Amino acid sequence: MEIRVIGTGSRGNSYLVHEGGYTVVLDAGCKFNSVSAANNHNVADISACFVTHKHTDHAKYIKDFLKHGIPVYTNDEAIENYGEKNFMLKSIQAQKVIHIDDLRVVAFAVPHDDVMNFAYIIMFPTGRRLLYATDYEYIKFNVAPLNITDFLIECNHSEEVSDESVNYSHVYLGHASLEATESFLRRSCGSHVKSITLCHLSDINADRERILTAIRNIDETIRVEIAENGKEYNYE
Q: What is residue 216's predicted lDDT score, i.e. its pLDDT?
A: 97
**Complete domains list, the chain, with CATH:** 2-234 (3.60.15.10)
Q: Cβ neighbours of residue 143 under 8 Å, at least 6 residues apart?
A: 121, 131, 188
Residue 220, Cβ density class (10 Å: 0-12 exposed, 13-18 middle, ≥19 buried): exposed
d(CA 89, CA 9): 24
pLDDT tens across the length of the chain (236 residues)? 999 999 999 999 999 999 999 999 999 999 999 999 999 999 999 999 999 999 999 999 999 999 999 999 999 999 998 766 788 999 999 999 999 999 999 999 999 988 999 999 999 999 999 999 999 999 999 999 999 999 999 999 986 644 444 454 445 457 999 999 999 999 999 999 999 999 999 988 899 999 999 999 999 999 999 999 999 999 99
8 A C-beta contact, residue 13 and residue 27: yes
Question: pTM of the predicted model, to two decimals?
Answer: 0.94
d(CA 17, CA 13): 13
